[in-house]
Amino acid sequence: MASRESIGAPNPVARDYDALAPEYARRLAGELDGKPFDRAWLSAFARRMRGAGLVGDVGCGPGHVSAFLAAEGAEVLGLDLSAGMVAEARRAYPALCFAQADLLRLGETPGRFAGLLAMYALIHFDDAVLAAALGACHAALRPGGDMLAAVHLGEGTLHPPEMWGIPVTLGFRLFAEGELEARLTAAGFAVRESVVRAPYPGVEYPSRRLYLRARRRDG
């Protein structure tokens, strides 16, 4: 998810994910089967959210993570900038709720969410837009609400010319260790948990992964 480039102009991130959506869903909708850490991390989040209120799955893609959280007892709304991804999610999980939305506009409804999940939803932002995105997440959460985020660790930005044979212009930001924790703190969050795991061979891109849990401070 990312901001609009200008009024009336197609967002290049949304455009690329629209093109990728059918193949993305085909290849990755079952990815959690091969990721035991992710399943345990998401299950713990869902348990904390049971009965607490609405959870926003930001950058939900084809909806498989939203479906996992719902199966674990959370009340979930899947959100994605890409209309193609939202269509794939609705097709796969018609009993769940999905909507097209811009992460940068989440704060327009303050305190709407008891929890937010951003699994690789922050990786297409430069520094300035990342600060705005975290500010929007802070505003969208109720005081004391939890935010979970996962990102790739490393240096620089990856610019693959294609994914699965489909041309893209996406840039994938790699985060330095400690960088996202500092940015969340600056945005008004208290970081509660920070875990790094190695990649699962043959299951995902071979980057080290950071998993964070932060809470919106009341003050």
Model confidence band, residue 218 (pLDDT cutoffs 50, 70, 90)? confident
Dihedral of CA atoms 91, 92, 93, 99 in degrees, nearest 10, equals -50
Q: Is residue 1 part of a domain?
A: no
CATH number at residue 121: 3.40.50.150
Q: Is residue 100 part of a domain?
A: yes
Q: Is the pLDDT of residue 36 over 60?
A: yes
Contact (Cβ atoms closer than 8 angstroms) between residue 49 and residue 64: no
Q: How far apart are the first and last CA of the chain?
A: 28
Q: Is residue 3 part of a domain?
A: no
Q: Is residue 136 part of a domain?
A: yes
Q: Is residue 4 part of a domain?
A: no
Task: Give 121-149 pLDDT, tens digit per residue.
Answer: 999 999 999 999 999 999 999 999 999 99
Q: Is residue 6 part of a domain?
A: no
- pTM: predicted TM-score of the whole model, two decimal places: 0.94
Residue whose C-alpha is closest to residue 19's, from 100, 92, 83: 83
Task: Give 53-87 pLDDT, tens digit per residue.
Answer: 999 999 999 999 999 999 999 999 999 999 999 99
Q: What is the DSSP letter of 153?
A: B
Q: Is residue 7 part of a domain?
A: no
* Number of domains present in the structure of the chain: 1
Provide the strand spans (E) within the chain: 54-58, 75-80, 97-100, 113-119, 141-152, 157-158, 162-163, 166-167, 172-173, 189-197, 209-216
Q: Is residue 171 part of a domain?
A: yes
Range of the domain at 117: 12-216
Task: Give 168-212 pLDDT, tens digit per residue.
Answer: 999 999 999 999 999 999 999 999 999 999 999 999 999 999 999
